[in-house]
Structure formats: C-alpha cells, structure tokens
Amino acid sequence: MKQPARLLPLLCLAATADAAQLRDAVSGLVVTAPPGYVAALAPPSDQGGGQARPVFDIRRPGETDTGCRVSTVEAPGNAFLSQAELNERAASVEYQRQLARHLSSVYDLVALDVVGSAKVVGLGAIGDLRSQPGAPPPDVRTLLVFLDTPLERVVLTCVADRREFDQRLAEFEAIFGGLELP
C-alpha cells in the first residue's frame, strides 16, 4: 500500500452558518452540507449484518452514484470504553493494520491515516474497489472515514470517479467538517 505523507488534513472545518442542517434526534448526529451540496435523509442500509441508522446522503444536485453518505452503526463494544480509550485505539498501529486487512478484501488501498473531528480520533482510508472476476474494474475511488464514540460508530463514505477524485477531495473534507458528533 502506497503511503503519502499524510492522508488528509481532515481537521474539523467550520460549517457555514447558512447551510442546511439535518439532525438525528436519537443519536444527536448533525450533518451540514457545504455550499453546492444538498443533504437528505436516505433509507437505512445493512452494513455488516447490523442495521445502520441514521443515513444521510450529501450530494451535488442531480448526483446519484457519487457523493457522500453518512451513517451510524451500533457499536455495543464501544460502550465500555471512554472516548479517550477509543481515540487511543484508533491511533494504534495494530488497529490500523486490522482495518487495512478488513478493507483490503474489497479495496486496493491507496492510503490509510488517522483523522480527527472535534474530540474524536478516527481512521480514514482511500481505496479503489477491487475488480470482480470477469468484470471490468470500477472507475471509482472511495474515501472512508470511521469515527468511534461510546454511543456508536459514524461512517462517512464518499465516492467519485477516479479521474475526478483529487479535485473533489476538498469538497469531501468540507462534508467531513460539517459533521457534529454527539
């Protein structure tokens, strides 16, 4: 896996005050779409056998296959850990290796690095979907960000055509910056 100097400077970026916000009343997760994007509630999806809730799509108007999705997934094991312990776990080399092994079954990883949002440290990965036998390789690149809290895991998934991904990365960072975790 090729490792650039740093994956992303995914620091908590300030959301614009006039942007539309969506809030999940149960978890407290808030999503703010940056200028040029629209945030909408999407149907829940099954992620790894567990029902994900809530699910927000954050896309440019008219986009259907690219853009970002934010979801929360139950993480009962996190309830026994403090945020400081979860942050320490995310920053550990062994945890990063475990996530890389897991993601490598689906993606050819380009980068994996520690990212942060307010008081939460997580992991961010960039990867290209692996080709299925007999099928042409998908021409998309994906940004995945995993943020664990004692309440849940928040997952940000952003997809773009591979040739446009680098140009859209700043937009994806703005979407990340518009997340307010409970």
Helix (H, G, I), strand (E, B) or coil at 137: coil
Q: What is the pLDDT of residue 157?
A: 96
53, burial (CB in 10 Å: exposed 0-12, middle 13-18, buried 19+): middle
pLDDT at 133: 84
CATH 3.40.50.2000 fits 21-42+51-180, yes or no: no
Given this model, what pLDDT does residue 19 score?
Answer: 54
- What integer pLDDT is reported at residue 114 of this predicted model? 96
| CA 172 to each of CA 11, 52, 77, 131, 144: distance values in angstroms, whole numbers, following the listed order | 12, 21, 29, 24, 10
Spatial separation of the C-alpha atoms in residues 150 and 182, rounded to whole Å: 10
pLDDT of residue 46: 58
Residue whose tokens read 């100097």: 5
**Parts of the chain with a pLDDT under 70:** 1-19, 44-52
Q: What is the pLDDT of residue 126?
A: 97
First to last CA, the chain: 33
- The domain limits of the chain are 21-42+51-180
* Predicted pLDDT of residue 64: 86
